[in-house]
Amino acid sequence: MNDYVALDLGAESGRVMLGRLADGKLQMEEIHRFPTGATVIGETLRWDILHLFEEIKTGLRKLAARQITPASISTDSWGVDYVYFRAGEPLLTLPFHYRDTRTDGGPEAAFARVPAETIFEETGIQFMSINTLYQLLDDSAKRADVMALADHFLNIGDYINYLLSGKVASEESLASTTQIYNPRERAWSKKLISQFGLPEKVFPPLVASGTPLGPLSKTFAEELKWPQTRVVATCSHDTGAAVAAVPAQGKNWAYLSSGTWSLLGIESPTPVITAESRAFNFTNEAGLGGTTRLLKNIVGLWIVQECRRAWLKEGHDYSYDDLARLANEAEPLQSLIHPADPRFYRPDAMPQKIADYCTETGQKVPTTPGATIRCVYESLALLYHKTLQELQQISGQTIERLHIVGGGSKSDLLNQLAANATQIPVVAGPVEATAIGNILVQALALGHLKSASELRQVVADSFPGKTYQPQHQAEWKQALQKFNELKS
């Protein structure tokens, strides 16, 4: 039996999770949960990384108080955002939140210096203004003094590992989200660094997924009484960890990591960097064992989260279960939005944005929370279908089933709608795929598991999924035609 700790940081909440692996099965326990979210400082959106680290330490102390000594610990997080630091000064400035407006128009400004074709050929990463590349370019133009002071930047998950171990290392799955990483060479893109005039010194050394970094720092080891605990660079990107934990065997399957974002793709042996994959705005991110996560990053349950937040401000405290129940009771396929419309990427007044979109497109306007959430769920399901069609076209692979993991897999309604829209079976679970993947990659790194296939078998044996068969083919075929006509 071995214990492991996953520090699982998401855009809405963070968790300290305990995993116990024994006899080929994994047990998971949530030790501490805390909100993350943006902090407004002046006119900027930031991450209060010091507060997040204090919350992490609270969770670790709870474990230590139970006299649990883990074999290892590792962090996963969302991508693109980062922290600057230098020797003797572990934090130079609070990191920006990817929803800060500073990089609006960033890709277009970058294309004036380096063609989009060159950037994609070098990185295989889809163009999103939130990418690290455009954040660094904004820094070089407006915060050159901070860049000059920094020894390195590290993306969020790797930065927490650095605070725990003192080891500077950028893990490939997280580094690959930056749009400055070359997946063919498995190295930082020297070409883009040079052409954009970025300082080479800030780019940290790279390590593969599942690399032991070293012992827990002396300070933490003594406080927690964990002298033998090691820090591991697991799949530091939360989606990388989640995909590692997809309980799939064989071929012809796709995954959907469903949370604040929806990340839909396949596991490919090599990057797919073509004019067609660029036109469809797909991305090639590093995965476990040198694989490529060929996927598209699309808006997900963020829209639901923002609706709930808007109603809470009005005095209506709906739980997510409440909203799912109300959506299930609402009339099906009454109105649709295109979730990729830019208005839905920004916070605030989400129900009104949905109503305005329906008015602009001549549709019935949802006037209740149930109708609004039903509209969002059905629209997301249709976007899954459209994305799967594109994925099959660029990969040449026929997709026969869809595995949904993450928080979104808890929704029976959304899972069934996904099966209806895609007209293929949907297998839901595990919910805690990100933390599970984090922990089992640690086990793999320490030699407690022997292969990625064995890792996935542990997931299948420990967390049985639920399968949803497609229904109502004619109605959903008609809905797809309507969806394809919507503006994005």
Catalytic residues: 238
* Angstrom distance (rounded) from CA 360 to CA 387: 24
334 within 8 A of 375, measured Cβ to Cβ: yes
Token couple for 346: 């920004």
Q: Residue 242: left (phi > 0), alpha (psi -120 to 50), or beta?
A: alpha
454 within 8 A of 223, measured Cβ to Cβ: no
Catalogue the E-assigned strands of 204-248. 206-207, 211-215, 230-233
Query: Cis (ω within 30 of 0) for the bond into 430?
Result: yes
Number of residues that make up the chain: 488
Token couple for 327: 């959506």
* Angstrom distance (rounded) from CA 59 to CA 462: 24
182 within 8 A of 146, measured Cβ to Cβ: no
Token couple for 139: 């820094």
* Angstrom distance (rounded) from CA 449 to CA 462: 15
Nearest CA among 452, 460, 486, 448 for reference residue 22: 448
Residue matched to tokens 């998971």: 28
Q: Where are the alpha helices (DSSP H) in 248-368?
A: 275-279, 302-313, 320-329, 350-360
* Angstrom distance (rounded) from CA 131 to CA 334: 35
Q: Where are the alpha helices (DSSP H) in 88-154?
A: 106-111, 116-123, 132-142, 144-149
Nearest CA among 73, 56, 182 for reference residue 439: 73
Say what angle helices 369-395 and 473-484 make with each other, to 10 degrees: 80
> Residues 6 or more apart from 467 whose CB is under 8 A from it?
425, 426, 427, 428
DSSP string, 116-132: HHHHHHHH-----TTSH
449 φ, ψ to 5°? Answer: -125, 155
What SS3 class is residue 301? coil
Q: Residue 50: left (phi > 0), alpha (psi -120 to 50), or beta?
A: alpha
